[in-house]
């Protein structure tokens, strides 16, 4: 009897049954938790946009406030090549919804992104999306109170993803926030430290308000004047990656044309 219970066939049956039960439990949990995960990702993205725009202070505000605070923003899709907002009809024709459009998915889709040749790939992101979601707080006079741009660039260990918020002049920085990166905690990871980010508000991107030339720099021992912030100590490569990221995304292959056409003056 006992030899029958311990037979190879029975052992295999029990192992297979256990595998089947476990895989059903795991896939069930993954399916059930997916909507919650998506909701949390959107909450985290919106929180970072608010932080970049200087509207959310993690020491004072709570996550419960994010959605109501975020209602002030309009999300619109920008065509980076023409440098203009897509009309609702154009966005619909392309199947793009600003609430759900994902730059990270578009980046891997040749229909929505292009490979960057080496000499153009100054932020080392390899591919550039054709469309990006921009978040604005609009003024009564048709201008903007703030314009929040998605930015990305390679640090030391991987691509850093964040949001850069500008004032309505398309030149003065309101703030920076990073929501995903692989830099070392305590070294390059300090890009997420509010104390380092506190240097950014008020700094300017371009040589002057009418210029297309990016003057913003992350400088070791620097941080003086209107265009510089101090680099992170012990993280020169990450700091250079941040500087390259800003130069790329505020330049002609990033949001340069869009800022000229839709935001500045």
Ligand X SMILES: Cc1cc2nc3c(=O)[nH]c(=O)nc-3n(C[C@H](O)[C@H](O)[C@H](O)COP(=O)(O)O)c2cc1C
Asked if residue 236 binds ligand X (CB under 6 A), the reply is yes
CB 84 within 8 A of CB 263: no
Q: Which residue's CB is nearer to ligand X, number 168 or number 189?
A: 189
Asked if residue 225 binds ligand X (CB under 6 A), the reply is no
- Least gap, CB of 237 to ligand X (angstroms): 3
Residue 15 to residue 13: CA distance in whole angstroms: 5
Asked if residue 237 binds ligand X (CB under 6 A), the reply is yes
- Least gap, CB of 183 to ligand X (angstroms): 4
> Any idea of the CA torsion for 42, 46, 52, 53, to the nearest 10 degrees?
160
Q: Are strands 84-85 and 217-219 parallel, antiparallel or unpaired?
A: unpaired
Q: Which residue is nearest to ligand X (CB)?
A: 188
Asked if residue 191 binds ligand X (CB under 6 A), the reply is no
SS3 call for 161: strand
Residue 229 to residue 91: CA distance in whole angstroms: 37
Angle at 80 between CA 74 and CA 84, to 5 degrees: 55
Asked if residue 219 binds ligand X (CB under 6 A), the reply is no
CB atoms within 10 A of CB 74: 13
Q: Which residue's CB is nearer to ligand X, number 42 or number 237?
A: 237
Of 136, 146, 192, 238, the one binding ligand X (CB under 6 A) is 238
Of 98, 168, 188, 251, the one binding ligand X (CB under 6 A) is 188
The 8-class DSSP code of residue 206 comes to: B
Residues 6+ apart with CB under 8 A from 226: 202, 203, 204
The 8-class DSSP code of residue 104 comes to: H
Q: Which residues share a beta bridge with 84? A: 79
Q: Which residue's CB is nearer to ligand X, number 149 or number 245?
A: 245
- Least gap, CB of 185 to ligand X (angstroms): 8
**Which window, 41-49, 94-102, 105-113, 231-239, contacts ligand X (CB under 6 A)?**
231-239
Asked if residue 183 binds ligand X (CB under 6 A), the reply is yes
- Least gap, CB of 252 to ligand X (angstroms): 27
Contact residues for ligand X, defined by CB under 6 A:
156, 183-184, 187-188, 233-238
């Amino acid at each position: 009897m006992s030899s029958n219970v311990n037979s190879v066939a029975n052992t295999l049956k029990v192992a297979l049954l256990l595998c089947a039960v476990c895989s059903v439990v795991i896939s069930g949990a993954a399916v059930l938790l997916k909507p919650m995960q998506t909701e949390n990702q959107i909450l985290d993205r919106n929180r970072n946009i608010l932080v970049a725009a200087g509207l959310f202070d993690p020491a004072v505000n709570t996550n419960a406030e994010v959605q109501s605070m975020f209602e002030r923003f309009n999300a619109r899709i920008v065509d980076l090549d023409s440098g203009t907002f897509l009309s609702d009809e154009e966005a619909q024709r392309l199947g793009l919804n600003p609430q759900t459009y994902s730059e990270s998915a578009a980046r891997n889709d040749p229909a929505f992104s292009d490979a960057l040749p080496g000499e153009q790939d100054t932020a080392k992101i390899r591919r550039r999306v054709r469309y990006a979601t921009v978040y604005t707080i609009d003024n009564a006079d048709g201008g903007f109170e703030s314009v929040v741009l998605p930015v990305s660039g390679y640090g030391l260990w991987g691509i850093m993803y964040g949001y850069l918020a500008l004032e309505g002049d398309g030149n003065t920085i309101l703030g920076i926030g990073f929501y995903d990166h692989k830099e070392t905690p305590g070294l390059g990871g300090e890009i997420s430290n509010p104390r380092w980010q506190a240097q950014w508000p008020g700094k300017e991107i371009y040589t002057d308000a009418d210029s297309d030339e990016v003057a913003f720099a992350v400088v070791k021992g620097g941080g003086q004047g209107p265009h510089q912030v101090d680099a992170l100590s012990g993280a020169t490569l990450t700091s250079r990656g941040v500087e390259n990221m800003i130069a790329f995304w505020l330049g002609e292959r990033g949001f340069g044309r869009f800022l000229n056409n839709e935001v500045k003056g």
